[in-house]
Amino acid sequence: MTTMPVTSSAPPVQAGERLIVYLRMIHAEWLLEMRGVLDAARRPGAGTWIRWSAIHYVDTVFSARFEQEREVVERLRLEVGAGHAGGPWVGAEFLAILRWQLDHLVGVCPRAEEFSTMTLKLLSAIDHWCHEVEDTLGQLIWDDLSDEARRLLASLAGEAVPHGA
């Protein structure tokens, strides 16, 4: 399945607006998609292949988005000050561990209960990550950011992602 990049000449945030609105919009869409994929795989009667497909989604689509946002947060550390980026760093490390664990527990696919427990932890960690990023970067004002920072933030919403990957 291929994707088409979404490009727009309009900034994702209005002049003078804080980033919190933009970040919440991106995260709400991201979490809705994640929950849709993982909830479908946790339903009673969901088979091994549906669970495996969800793991594949986490390993590909989610991981790509997460790493992109993680890079943006890391690069914007200078904008918020290194002392304020600790929350997202901890959240990112925890998410990396959970992704690794899920990826290496492919054998959990046949065991619905273990799969459900693991994916609920992952969803909770993603939710935590989103809140940390919003708390850390949300008070920044679009106009005060460097051109590079604005480009990086705009890239977070700049790609269409295939559903059912």
Q: Please give the pLDDT value at position 5.
A: 39
Q: How far is CA 124 from CA 45, 92, 131, 147, 158, in A?
A: 23, 12, 11, 33, 25
For residue 1, being part of any structural domain is answered with no
For residue 7, being part of any structural domain is answered with no
Q: Domain range holding 100?
A: 20-155
- Residue 160: pLDDT band (50, 70, 90) is very low
Report whether 44 contacts 110 (CB < 8 A): no
Q: Which range among 10-24, 42-56, 132-146 shows the weakest confidence by mean pLDDT? A: 10-24
For residue 37, being part of any structural domain is answered with yes
For residue 126, being part of any structural domain is answered with yes
Domain count within the chain: 1
For residue 162, being part of any structural domain is answered with no
For residue 2, being part of any structural domain is answered with no
Report whether 136 contacts 78 (CB < 8 A): no
